[in-house]
Each structure stands twice: as C-alpha cells, then as structure tokens.
Structure 1
C-alpha cells in the first residue's frame, strides 16, 4: 500500500496559514502597520479603497530592505526579530512570527517597493498568489510601500463571507486607532476612497487621544500614573458621566502593544462601581510597562491575547490606581501642564470676527425723572418707557387698569379631587372593561382570567410597526424645532452621523455636523420634547455599533425612536383610550413581543389566582 501522507506545497500551506493570520482586510492593515513601526518609520500613510477589498496601501519612511531581504520576507517563518527561543521572552518588536507577509502574498496581488537609506536604487517586487511576477531594481523613495489588491481573489469562500463595506471599514478603523494610540510619537494618516479621515502629527499621548476622539474629549480625561516593581502604569480614564452603552473607548496596552483582557477590564469596571449607571461601560486608555520576560505574547497569531505572570498583582494595582485617580478628580481639579494654549470658543461664536467691547453711556439719563420727562432719543425707548422691540410684540399697547392688578394678585385654589379606587367590589363583573394599574400595566378581564399588557412596550410595538410600514415609501413626518438642539460629538460619532445622514433624514431627523457639533433642526413628530435628548443619545449609541450591516441600520434606528416614543407620558385616562390602544396592538403582527424582543402581555388564569387564595 502506497503512502498517503504528503508534504503540502508552500502555496497551499500559506493559504491555510492565511486563514488564521489574515481573517479580513483589517488584519492586513494591522500587520503592515506593525511592520512599518518595527522598521523605525516616523511617518506612515494608509490608503484604503472599498474597505480594503480593492486596495490597501501602506507607505512608510522606515529603514527599508536590501534586495535579499525583500525576497526573503515573503517566505514563511522568515523574520529579523527572533533568532533563538529565548528571544520570545524579550520581545521589543510588534511582529516576530514571520507569517504575515507570506500569508498576504498567498491570497492577494502584492506590490512592494523598498529602498535602503544609503541605496541609490530600490527594489520592486510583484507577487500574485505566492507566485513572483516581477523582481527588479527601481527608483523609489526611502522606506517601504505595500499595495495589496484583490484580497482573497483565490479564496472565493472567504471573500463571500466578508461583511458590508461599512462593517469592514469599521474594523480597519479600529485597528488603525489601536496602533496610533500606542505610538503618539509617529505621524499617521488614513484615507478611504480618496477622503482623508485622519491626519495625526507626532505629539504627546494626551493630544493623540484628543485627536482620535475629538477636541471636546480633552476635558473628559482623568490622568493616571503609578510606578511599582511589578508594573508601570500611565494613561487616562474618562470621567464617570461620559460612560457609554458600548465598549468602543476601552484600550489596554502593554509595552506599546494593544491587548484584550476581560480580567483587567473587570478591575477597571469595579473601580467605577457606584459612579456609572448599570449596563454602562467606562472609557479608558491605559498603558502598562511590564518586564517582557514576565509576559507571553505568543498565544494567538493576532497577538491580542497575552498571558501575565503576575496578573493578580496587576489586577489589584489597576483597581487601586483607577480608584485613586477618580478620588482625586472628585476632590480637587488636577493641574494639566500639557493644556493646549488655544481657548475653547463656543460653537455659535466661532464664525464671528473678534470685536473689542464698547461701553455706551447715555449722559442725559436721569433715574429720578418721570417717564414722560426722560429723553427717548438715545435710549431707544418710546415716550411710554417701552422699547420699540417690546412694542412690536404687542406689549404696552394698552394701559393697565386697576382691576387687572387685582386679578393679578388673586389666588386661585385648585380643588383637590379625591382619588377613587381602581375598582370597587360591586364592579367586579364579567363585563367590566379594561383598566390601567400603576401607569404601566393594562388589565383586561377575560373568560379564563386576566390579560396583563405592558402599556409602554405596547406603544413601542405600535410606533415601530407604523414607522417601518410608512418610511420605506414616504419620509417620516418631522416637526421643526423652535430652538435647535446642539450636541458635542466625538470624531467617530460625527463620521457615523454623516454616513447615515440619508437614512436619518428619511426617519425625520434633520441635522448637520460641523466642527464636531451636531445641530438638529427637526425631529420625528412622534417624539415628545422631553425625550429628544435621550432619543438622540440612543441613535448615536446605535450608530456606534460597527458590526451592524447597512441594511439593518434603519431597523435599529426605528427601534430607538419607538423606545423613546414609549417613554412619554401615557394618555390613558379613560376606557376608550385604553381600548383603542389594545385594538391597535392586536392589529400588529408581532403583538406579543416588543421590537427589542421583550414580552408585552401575559395571562393570569383563574387557576393561578385560585392558588393564591388557598
């Protein structure tokens, strides 16, 4: 019998390895950025087209590669960062496995240009599916540039499983932010489909965080700094009042490498106990400096899972340091020696030119003179001592009468109505109508018992169905606000609003983002004034979920609107209104559950009630 086991060719082995190392376009961006940083680059430019499906280009000004290294770097397990096993426990670089470039070259069309600082000519290499097409000298700038085209061209199953452009670019943006936050001393830029999204100059850590989050985040940061024999901790946490419903602003770094740890996240969340609402997540940017020999980075190819030798001690240090920083923030303000010299000018005044204030004095004004004798020319008042602006609005057109003053001081006492019980003993008849209990639940008697309906969830379901059935054909009716709502946004929130501007307008929200300030001029007519601010917050939280497909955005936004509409005061003061709500609810297809899949109604049968009286 012949042998069955065979050694796989390199191109097939690379494709298999790529399935674990390169999971999506964001994986390519991460690996190329880390290579540029390891090459000593001080300026890195990233250019993306079609969320990385068409083109990923990373250009740096690092030290470049020789002709031999340029060829060898595409071989599996070829690396300049590790020479012996002991080096794995003294890593000072991002990469070390030597798998990334070989994996990328196996599933894409790759062009690399590189030149050493002292070289007259550089080298251009073109690879398609692990096959070398071009290897020649060329005149290229110092450093290295990669162009990755047609990702997963020979792995159609993997390409078909990619998410929408919005989701995939969200992942790329996440990886980009993690790298730039770890290296504030390097200049970065990010372009997508020709639009510049980030242009980050080399700066301090605090300024880099503000550049990524937005200008208004500077006042939200609480500094942390702690030095021990086990770990050196520095960074910032966001003030408790800026906790969010999503985990988007949580960053942990060890030795300038981003990592995820539910264990350390628990320590930070515990420090915020009692300061933030339930199901809210604190924001933090914490940097740990640990002896490389006491951590293991070689756990997973993505290198985001790290094992710590003294993780219990680090947990305690994190908990106490965050609590101490929050305590200092609550007791006294901190001195910020990195404060920007520019003033925080109110948004409404930024477009106005600076004008020197002037004081105008009326030398003829006499406070002791009667209104009829006072001069009106320079004071802008009429002979009746009313300004022209007030006169134009109808005030002061009629003389005050004595009876008007008497009516003004008259005290009208409201009659106190006696609160009658919801039902009386003699009213407990089979034909008794539905009634409201505790402003939340409707009890409707039936043949087998009581039907209990959650009134607010019922309204949420009704509003959701009405909006979904109408907005596809016609925009939701909106009402213009007398006073527009202004809301400060983070940089990413502003991008999210602009990307979904068309859908939001269709749903009745009309507003623009200018200089990280959202101005909402009109809102859906189903919303009450007191719920507008919370409704906009919920929409921003919904848009922050980067894994939501573009087709699902509208449904998620309608759920947010319906939830806000259900928070208004219930107008169920009589049986007719209650019965109307029940009828509208049962006209909905999914009348048993709310849009968020929570139960709307429950039956209390007579057998259950009888047991309660045994």
Structure 2
C-alpha cells in the first residue's frame, strides 16, 4: 500500500493558519498594532481604506528590526517573545505565537519597511502569498511601517464572506479601542479613507476614555480600586443611571490584555445590586493584575479568552469592589462599619447635663374608680364599652363603679340608635337612583385619566388605552409608509441646533447619510459638532436631543441591515416626537385617536413592544369592589 500521508507545502499551511488567526481586516489591525506595542512604540498610526479591504497601514516609532530579523519575521513560529515552554507562563507581551506576519503574508500583499534603532539604513521587503518578491535597503526614520493590501486576494471565498464596509469598520474601531484603552500612555492616530477618526495623545486612563467616548463620559465614571494577594483591581465603572439597553462599553483587561468573560461580567452586574433597570447593561473599564503563573492566555488563537487559576475568588473580589465603589461615592447605600455607634443629639441636648432617669409611681391610683367626667361622657354615648378610669384624687367627685350602669330608657335609646345605623348601612338606595353612567357623560363613553390614559366604556366592560403609546404607534406607521414613497417632510430651524459627537459616532453618522437625510435631517459639520439646519417636521425642538441620542445609540452599537436600521431610526424619531405629548383631549380628538389606532394592524402594541391597551371585563370590575 502506498503512503498517503505527506507534509503540506508551506504556502498551504500558512493559509490554513491564516484561517484561524486572520478572520477579517480587524484581525490584521489587532496583530500589527500589538506588534508595534511590543516594539516599544510611543506613537502608532493606523490608516485604512475601504474598511481595510483595500489597504491597511501601521506606522510606529518602535525599535525596528535588522535585515535578518525582518526576513525571519515572516516565517511560521518565528518569534522573539519566547524561547522555552516555561516562558508561556510568564508572558508580558501581546504576541508570542509567531504566526501573525506569516499568516497575513499568506493571504495578502505585504510591504514592510523597517529601520533598527541607532541605524541609518533599514530593510524593505515585499511579499505576496508567502512568496518574497523583493528585499532591498531603505532609508526612513526609526521604527516600522507595514502596509497590507488586497486582503484575501488568493482566498476569494473568504473575501466574499466579509460584511459591508460599515460593519467591518466597526470591528476595526473596536480592536483599536481595546488597544488604545490598554495603553493610554501611547499616542494613537486612526484615519479611514483619509478622514481622521481619532488623534489621541498619551495621557491617563480617564482622559483616554473621555477622548474615545466623548466629553460627557467624564461625569459618568466612578473609579474603583482594590488590592489583594490574588488580584489587583482598578479602573472605572459607569453610574447606574447611564446604563443602556445595548451592550456598549464593557471592557475587561488582565495584565494589559483585553479578554472576554461572561462569568466576571455577571460579577459586575451583581455588584450594582438591582440599581440597573431590567434588560439594561452597565458600562465598565476594569483592569485586573494577577501573577503570570496563575493565568493561561494560550487558550484561543485570538487570545481573547483566558483561564484563571482562582476565578471564584476573583469573582467575589470584583463584585465587592463594584459595590464598595458605588457606596463610597454615594451612588448606592452602604454600611459604614467604622462609624461610632452613638446617638445623633441636637446641640442643646449635647450641652445639657446628664441626668439619671427616675421612675415615679402614683400610690393613690385605683383602677376601679372613675371621675365624674368619665361617667357623664360614657352615659351620654350610650355606654360605649370603653371607660376612662382615672385617679379619684384628681377628679371633682368620685362615683362608685355601679353608678355607671345605664337605666332602662338609656338602653332603649342605645338600641334605637344602633338599629338606625345598621339600617343605613345595610339598606342600599333604589337602583334607579344610582347612575353608573353619570361620570362618563362628560365625554360620551370616554374619560381621560391623568392626561396619559383613556378609559373607554365597551360592551364587555372597560378598555384602558395608553395615549402616548397610541400616538407613537400611529406616527410610526405613518412615517414608515411615507418613508417608503418619499423623504419625510423637514422643517427649517431659525437657529442651528448643535450636537456634539465623538469621532466614532461621526463616522457612523456619515455612513448613514442617505437614510438620515430621507428622515428630514439636514446638517453641516464643525469638527465633531453636528450642526442641524432642519429636522423632521413632526419633531419639536426640545426633543431633538432625545431623538439624536436614540439614533446614535442604534447606529453605533448595533449591527443592523438597512431594513432594520430604518425601523430603529423611525422608532427613535416617533418615540421622541410623541414624548410627553399628553394634554387634555376634546371628544373629537379622543374619537380621532381611537379611530386611527384601530386602523393599524398592530394596534395592541407600540413599535417598541409595549402594550397600548387592555380590556377589563365587567366581572373583573365587580371583583375590585368585592
């Protein structure tokens, strides 16, 4: 039998390895920026075109490489980070497997230009499909410049499975943010299609968070810090009132390496202790520092999954640290065990002398004797059964206990009063005199309750309608129908409306320009400030911020196709346009609202899924009074 097992050629083996390491353009960005960080760079630039599909360029001012190292870096399992198996348990660098450059070069056109520190002449290498096309001397400043073009040029199936430019750009931004948050001391520049997205100077962690996610984040952050023998915890959590319905900024780092862990995420949520509304998610930036020998980062090719030796203890520490921080900054109630156990006394009480309490006993008190006033009040009420016994010494003239007994006439009066009272309680009015419809006559069969509820009499009982949600459903259906046919009408603003965005949000806004203009928005840019000149006609100016907040939330944190995006944007617009619109309605307005609502096929639920109306049967109404 002939041998059928053989070694794969290097180019095929590299393509297989690339399938594990390089999943999309964001994977290339991650690997190359991490290499620049490991090279000791103080400034790193990232420039991409067409979401990285056409070009990815990384420029750093790190140590650079010699001619031999530059050539060896493209070989599989060639690395300067480890030399023995024991080094895997004391890792302090990002990359260590030696597969990144070899995998990238197997599926793209790569050009590397590097100059070693202290040298004038460097090396430029051009490689495509694992094949070196040229290697020649070069001259540039200290550091390395790597350009990756035509990603997946020789793996068309993988290229066809890439998402749209918007989605791929979001993934690149996420990888960039993770590394920028890990190393706030390094300056970063990020541009997409020659438009600068981020220009970050080296700074502290808090400023880096604010630079990445906006100035309004500064007031939302709560610092956390705890140091134990097992783990050191530091970073920031976001105040519970700023939690969101989507998973936004949730970052865990261990030993300056980003990782994902649902177990520790549960610890953070548990630390908020019901301060976050249901189906809302808090944001956090938590940094863990553990001994290297208690951590295994060699779990997943992308190194986003790690294993801890004592995960349960770290869970408890994270939870208590979050809870302590919320209590320390008066965001959540907490117990202060260091407070002295003393009474809070007024200033007058604190200065008064201390007196020993005394117990006084009235030796002349007789519970079987009563004052004349108590007797007269008791007999006047027909011997109610509750006597006010008092000290005879304090009464005007004591009577005996037997004198409290009422006479025959008083007993007859007592029963007469009681029977009349019982008759008033037990005997109802004539049913003809009770008009249950009387409160409903003010507006036919409809009543407006607390401005935002509508009570309607129906044959089966009563129907309760939420006015705001009904308006939201009506406006949503109208806008969706109008949007499909033509742009939504816009109203020009007398004074431009300014709304501040961060670079990431500005990029997402520009990516959805055509959709937003069809919604009725017109704008100009002043740096990262959105200057609106017109807004949708049904939107009041005081609710523009709420509408924009909802739109930015959708386009920034959710991956939606075009149809879903239109639904979410119109949902945000209709919710803001009908916000707090409740007013006293006339009978005609009530009838119009109900007629328009029942013309909708989805009249029972608002576009956001909340219930609009509920019917209460006659039996249920009667049960309320049983």
Cα distance 1:569–1:211, how it changes in 2: closer, same or farther (>3 A)? closer
Aligned residue in 2 for 1:562: 574
Q: Deviations for 1:194-253, whole angstroms, at most 9, x for unmatched residues?
A: 112222222222332232223443343333332221112222223344333333222221
Q: How does 1:29-40 map to 2 (within 5 A)?
A: 29-40=29-40
Aligned match of 1:101: 101
Q: Secondary structure at the match of 1:467?
A: helix
The answer on whether the counterparts of 1:49 and 1:55 sit within 8 Å (CA) in structure 2 is yes
Look up the SS of the partner of 2:31 in the other structure. Answer: helix
- Whether 2:294 is the aligned partner of 1:279: answer no
CA distance in 1, matches of 2:82, 2:454: 67
Is 2:135 the partner of 1:123? Answer: no
User: In the alignment, what sits opposite 2:488?
Assistant: 476
Label 1:94 to 1:423 Cα distance change in 2 as closer, same or farther (>3 A): farther
SS in 1 for 2:229: coil
Q: 1:582 to 1:323 in 2, by over 3 A?
A: same
Where 1:83 maps in the other structure, the secondary structure is coil
Change (3 A) 1:206 1:576: closer
Rate the CA distance shift 1:219–1:597 in 2: closer, same or farther, 3 A: closer
- Distance in 1, Cα, partners of 2:90 & 2:439: 84
Partner of 2:388: none
Instruction: Report deviation, 1:569.
Output: 3.9
User: Secondary structure of the equivalent of 1:98?
Assistant: coil
Tell me whether 1:543 sits opposite 2:555 in the alignment: yes
Q: Distance in 2 between matches of 1:528 and 1:245?
A: 25
CA distance in 2, matches of 1:214, 1:458: 35
Q: What residue is the counterpart of 2:159 in the other structure?
A: 159
Where 1:330 maps in the other structure, the secondary structure is coil
The residue that corresponds to 1:534 in the other structure is 546
Given that 1:494 and 1:513 are in contact with CA atoms closer than 8 Å, whether structure 2 keeps it comes out as no
Matching residue of 2:68: 68
Query: Root-mean-square deviation (CA), in Å?
Result: 3.8
Secondary structure in 1 matching 2:248: coil
Q: How do 1:418-457 residues align onto structure 2 when only pairs under 5 Å count?
A: 424=437, 439-440=452-453, 456-457=468-469
> For residue 347 of structure 1, what is the aligned residue in structure 2?
none
Deviation track 1:266-315 (CA, whole Å, cap 9, x = no partner) reads: 22222333544443333322221110110110111111111111222222
Q: Which residue of 2 aligns with 1:224?
A: 224
8 Å CA contact 1:452–1:602 kept in 2: the answer is yes
Change (3 A) 1:154 1:582: farther
Contact 1:232 1:288 in 2 (8 A): yes
Q: CA deviation at 1:55?
A: 0.3
8 Å contact 1:571–1:577 — kept in the other structure? no
Alignment of 1:89-488 (within 5 A): 89-330=89-330, 424=437, 439-440=452-453, 456-479=468-491
Q: State how far apart, in whole Å, the 1-side matches of 2:477 and 2:94 are.
A: 51
Asked whether the equivalents of residues 58 and 146 of structure 2 are also in contact (C-alpha less than 8 Å), the reply is: yes
For the 8 Å contact 1:231–1:289, the answer to whether it is kept is yes
- Distance in 2 of aligned mates of 1:190 and 1:238: 26
Residues 497-543 of structure 1, C-alpha deviation per residue, up to 9 Å, x if partnerless? 45545543432345556465555565433345665443332222222
TM-score, with length taken from structure 1 = 0.74
* Superposed displacement of residue 599, structure 1: 6.8
CA distance in 1, matches of 2:587, 2:4: 80
Cα distance in 2 between the residues matched to 1:241 and 1:597: 22
Report the counterpart of residue 375 of structure 1 in structure 2: none
Q: Which has the higher contact order (CA 8 A, sep 6+)?
A: 1
* Cα distance in 2 for residues equivalent to 1:64 and 1:296: 29
Distance 1:212 1:426 in 2: 58
Tell me, in whole angstroms, the C-alpha distance in 1 between the residues paired with 2:436 and 2:110: 78
CA distance in 1, matches of 2:566, 2:515: 7
Distance in structure 2 (CA, Å) of the matches to 1:513 and 1:244: 27
Residues 106 and 129 of structure 1 are in contact (CA less than 8 Å); yes or no, is this contact kept in structure 2? yes
**C-alpha distance in 2, partners of 1:160/1:602?**
49
Q: Distance in 2 between matches of 1:449 and 1:132?
A: 82
Structure 2 Cα separation of the partners of residues 549 and 226 of structure 1: 43
Following superposition, the deviation at residue 255 of structure 1 comes to 0.8
Structure 1 residue 19: Cα displacement: 2.1
Counterpart CA distance in 2 for 1:240 and 1:605 is: 40
Q: SS state of the match for residue 270, structure 1?
A: helix
Q: Give the 3 Å change call, closer, same or farther, for CA 8–601 of structure 1 in structure 2.
A: farther
Q: Deviations over 1:18-64 (max 9, x none)?
A: 22211111111000001111112222111111110100000112222
Cα distance in 1 for residues equivalent to 2:267 and 2:618? 49
Instruction: Output the CA distance in 2 between the equivalents of 1:30 and 1:593.
Output: 44
Report what 1:354 is aligned to.
Answer: none
- Retained in 1: the 8 A contact 2:106–2:128? yes
Q: In 2 relative to 1, CA 155–464 (structure 1 residues): closer, same or farther, beyond 3 Å?
A: farther
**Counterpart for residue 355 of structure 2:** none
Give distance in 2, aligned partners of 1:423 and 1:42.
80
Distance in 1 (alpha carbons) for counterparts of 2:185 and 2:479:
49
Indicate the residue corresponding to 1:343 in structure 2. none
**Number of equivalenced pairs:** 520
Larger Cα Rg: Structure 1 or Structure 2? 2
User: Which deviates more, 173-182 or 212-221?
Assistant: 212-221
Question: C-alpha distance in 1, partners of 2:46/2:598?
Answer: 54
Contact kept? 2:273, 2:323, Cα under 8 Å: no
Instruction: Tell me the residue number matched to 1:52.
Output: 52
Q: CA deviation at 1:164?
A: 1.7
Q: Which moved more, 1:61-70 or 1:184-193?
A: 61-70
* Structure 2 match to 1:525: 537
Is the 8 Å Cα contact of residues 528 and 568 (structure 1) preserved in structure 2? no
